[in-house]
Amino acid sequence: MKSVKVTINGRLYEREVAEHKTLLRFLRDDLGLTGTKEGCGAGECGACMIIMNGVSVNSCMVLAAEANGAEIETVEGVGTNDELSALQDSFHRHHAVQCGFCTPGMIMTATDLLRRTPHPSREEIKDGIEGNFCRCTGYEQIIEAIEDVAGTEDSHA
């Protein structure tokens, strides 16, 4: 076991964590932050995307022990309980959600993308979210939702 002190969505958590535990399972099983999903456990699908120290990473590919001292953002910290973030609201308005299982990871990826590239082109959006599988929507309405926030939407809406 390792002692881990980690700031998640602005709150400090101190826990003893099994050393082989992934950050994904630490968030979900130990802290009950189940907004972050597991789709494959192998870094392929992006359902577990979080932002760690300002960069987006697949949390199934990170050990919880590594996160000691880290600043982590998960879907639970996006927006507030009273107000959706602009991206969340745009996903809502654009029907960019179907089953919703990829949605938290997609929101985190898009949040990071727009911080790096506030006005991405359509191609930059596709490249940015290629690591997040969505089996329901066919991505189009997700791309439109991101374009809307970025102010780069074309005539699709």
Partner 1 sequence: MLEDTPAAELKQVGQETLRIDSKIKVTGQAEYVSDMEMSGMLHARVKTSPFARAKIRSIDTSKAEALSGVRAVVIGTELDYKLGLYVVDKDILAKTEVRHYGEAVAAVAADTLEIAEKAVGLIEVDYEELTPVLHPLEAIKEDAPRVHPDLGNYSYMEAAFSPQPGTNIANITRLRKGDIEKGFEESEWIVEREYTNPSVQHVPMETHVAIVQWGHDNKITIWSSAQSPFTVRNLFCNAFKLPHGNVRVIVPYVGGGFGGKAGVGIEPLVAVLSKKAGGRPVKLTATREQEFSLLPCRSQLTYRIKTGVSTEGKILAQEMIMYWDSGAYADYAVNVTRASGYSAGGPYEIPNAKVDSYTIYTNKPYGTAYRGFGHVEFFWGLERHMDLISEIVGQDPLEFRKLNALKPGSITLTGEKITENHGSVSKCLDAVANSIGYGTLTEKEKAREKKTGMKIGKAVASLHKAPAMPSFTATTVVVKMNEDGTVIANLSLIDYGQGTYTSIAQIIAERLRCPAEKVKVAFETDTDRDPYDWQTVASKGLILSGNAAILAADDLLEKAYADAAQVLRANTRDLDHDGDKIFVKHHKESFVTFKQLAIGYAYPNGNAIGGQLIGVGRYIAQGLSNLDKETGQGLPALDWTYGAHGMIIEINEETGEYNVLKVTSSYDVGKVINPDAVRGQSIGGMVQGLGTATCEGYIYDERGRLLNPSFTDNKIPTARDIPLEIETIPIETPQLDGPYGARGVAEHSMIGVAAALGNAIQHATGARLMHMPLRYEDVWRALQNKEPVDNWITKSPYGSCRSTPEL
Partner 2 sequence: MLHEFSYIEPGSLSELLEFLAKYGPESAVFSGGTDLLISIRAGLEKPVYVVDLKKVPELQELNFGSKSGLSIGAAVNVNRVVEHEAVQSHYRILEIAGRELATFQLRNRATVIGNIVTASPCGDMSSPLLCLDAEVELLSASGSRSMLLKEFITGVKKTQIKPEEIVSKITVPTTFMDAAGGYEKLKRIKGHDLGVVAVTMIKTKKTMRVAVSSAAPTPVLLPDFVLDTPVAEIQKVAQAAISPIDDVRCTKEYRRFMVDIYIRRLLEEVQHERGAA
To partner 1, the closest distance from the beta carbon of 23 in angstroms equals 16
The one among 23, 88, 112, 149 contacting partner 1 by CB under 8 A? 88
57: left (phi over 0), alpha (psi -120 to 50) or beta: beta
Rounded-to-integer distance, Cα 88 and Cα 59, Å: 21
Q: Which is nearer to partner 1, 37 or 59 (CB)?
A: 37
Q: Which is nearer to partner 2, 92 or 119 (CB)?
A: 119
Instruction: Point out which residues pair with 36 in neighbouring strands.
Output: none
To partner 1, the closest distance from the beta carbon of 25 in angstroms equals 9
Residue 71's binding partner out of partner 2, partner 1, none, with CB under 5 to 8 Å set by partner kind: none
Q: Which is nearer to partner 1, 4 or 25 (CB)?
A: 25
Q: Is 57 in the site for partner 2 (CB under 8 A)?
A: yes
Q: CB–CB of 64/16 below 8 Å?
A: no
Q: 1 vs 21, 52, 64, 106, 107, CA distance in Å? A: 10, 21, 11, 32, 32
The one among 6, 8, 27, 49 contacting partner 2 by CB under 8 A? 49
